[in-house]
Chain A
């Protein structure tokens, strides 16, 4: 697959996702996660950090891409948008890690392959702990809509909220989770 086909495909998936196509959004995120893993692994390799940190960054970036996807202007190229977010997240990570960077061992940068597909690695983030960091009402809404997969109207009935309130709460909840992911290591 050459660069421009992947741009076209990813962009089409992104635009379908923005219109509410969940399958396209899932395919997009899966595709991006292996690219992001490649990018972050490469960057972290240089500073002697391992796959767990890379996975933390992958998940933080996916969360950022998802919660900030309204900032993508569909008239623009998609790849530079994603790359700018990934780069921003990496620079942000470096800034927060700066203090502990000084005592890093530089020698063990050996057997890191450039493989993208280490999807079995778990990040240091814990979904239950992230959920516990949310306000009870928000947690309930996210649990219903995003984890149990209830429709918005079912979730509204279960949580005793209006449908639009459920949507807003879920959206805010994801943003709060993005913040918690970001603060995980600081």
Chain B
């Protein structure tokens, strides 16, 4: 085939393109994915027993941590699906969020009496936490991959990693409404750790799932 033939084909009866659709799709995908994760939480582990979930300052802290990651991650994805853009500042935001939570967790642990440290790190349900966050992240992750495939990501590993991060953070938001464990080291270790794991899995799956 000659290239002129292809150009003919592509420019015959050209349709105008709607602007801003990629970003809108991403926003809706994140909202819908978050909602799906919350529904899955309600259907499986349920809200925190005793109804104490809405007054806990720890809940706000967990949400703040995760919403920072979701916000920065969403802004990054909007750049990553559009070739030739980069968003270095946003990586710094993500890194700082992890560093801040990590160092606060370590400080709290150091200041605590040695006998209480195990309880602070493991809480009462670390296994549930470690299982639920990735589990709740599956639907948001699939939805994000679908949305990103409509874009044009050129760095597939990085795009996959950020998609994993956002999905993991959405899973963690859902889990936070169940989570009975209120301690800073717990948040740093299990919330931070599991979301980072989701990002790692996303980085591994990205090149396979996002090719175009």
A residues with a Cβ closer than 8 A to B are 17-23, 25-26, 29-30, 33, 37, 55, 58-59, 62-64, 66, 68-74, 76-77, 80-85, 87-88, 92, 119-120, 122-123, 125-127, 130, 142, 145-147, 149-152, 167, 170-171, 174, 178-179, 182
Closest to B3 in A: A33
Q: Which B185-210 residues have C-beta < 8 A from chain A? A: none
Does B12 have its Cβ within 8 Å of any Cβ on chain A? yes
State in angstroms the CA–CA spacing of A145 and B12 once bound together: 7
Which of B4, B11, B13, B154 contacts A87 (CB under 8 A)?
B154
Question: Is A71 a contact partner of B13 (Cβ separation < 8 A)?
Answer: no
Contact: B83 with A62, CB < 8 Å?
Answer: no
Complex A-B, nearest 7 residue pairs according to Cβ-Cβ distance, in ascending order? A80-B84, A20-B16, A84-B83, A26-B11, A84-B84, A68-B152, A88-B154
Known: A33-B7, A127-B5. A20 touches B154 (CB 8 A): no
Question: How far, in Å, is B148 (CB) from chain A's closest CB?
Answer: 11
| Residue contact B15 to A20, C-beta cutoff 8 Å | yes
**Which of B18-26, B48-56, B66-74, B122-130 lies at the interface?**
B18-26
Question: Chain B residues with Cβ under 8 A from A68's Cβ?
Answer: 83, 151-152, 212
Are B10 and A63 in contact (CB-based, < 8 A)?
yes
Binding site for A on B (CB under 8 A): 1-19, 21-22, 81-85, 151-152, 154, 211-212
Interfacial chain B residues near A77, Cβ < 8 Å = 84
Beyond A22-B12, A170-B13, A179-B212, 20 additional contacts (C-beta under 8 Å) are A25-B11, A33-B3, A59-B6, A62-B6, A68-B152, A71-B151, A73-B82, A73-B85, A83-B84, A85-B83, A88-B154, A120-B2, A123-B3, A127-B1, A127-B5, A127-B6, A142-B9, A146-B10, A149-B12, A149-B13
> Which chain B residue has the least Cβ–Cβ distance from A80?
B84
Chain B contacts for A85, CB-based, 8 A: 83, 152, 154
Of the candidates B3, B13, B18, B19, the one whose C-beta lies within 8 Å of that of A152 is B13
Q: For the complex, give the distance between the alpha carbons of A119 and B5 in Å.
A: 11
CA distance A48 to B76 in the complex (A): 38
Q: Contacts A17-B14, A20-B14, A63-B10; is A81 near B1 (CB within 8 Å)? A: no
Hey, which chain B residues are within 8 Å of A73, CB to CB?
82, 85
The residue of chain A having its C-beta at the shortest distance from the C-beta of B6 within the complex is A59
11 contacts between A and B (CB under 8 A): A19-B16, A37-B3, A71-B83, A82-B84, A84-B84, A88-B154, A92-B211, A145-B12, A145-B13, A147-B9, A167-B15
Give Cα A119–Cα B14 distance, bound, in whole angstroms. Answer: 23
Residues of A within 8 A of B11 (CB): 22-23, 25-26, 29
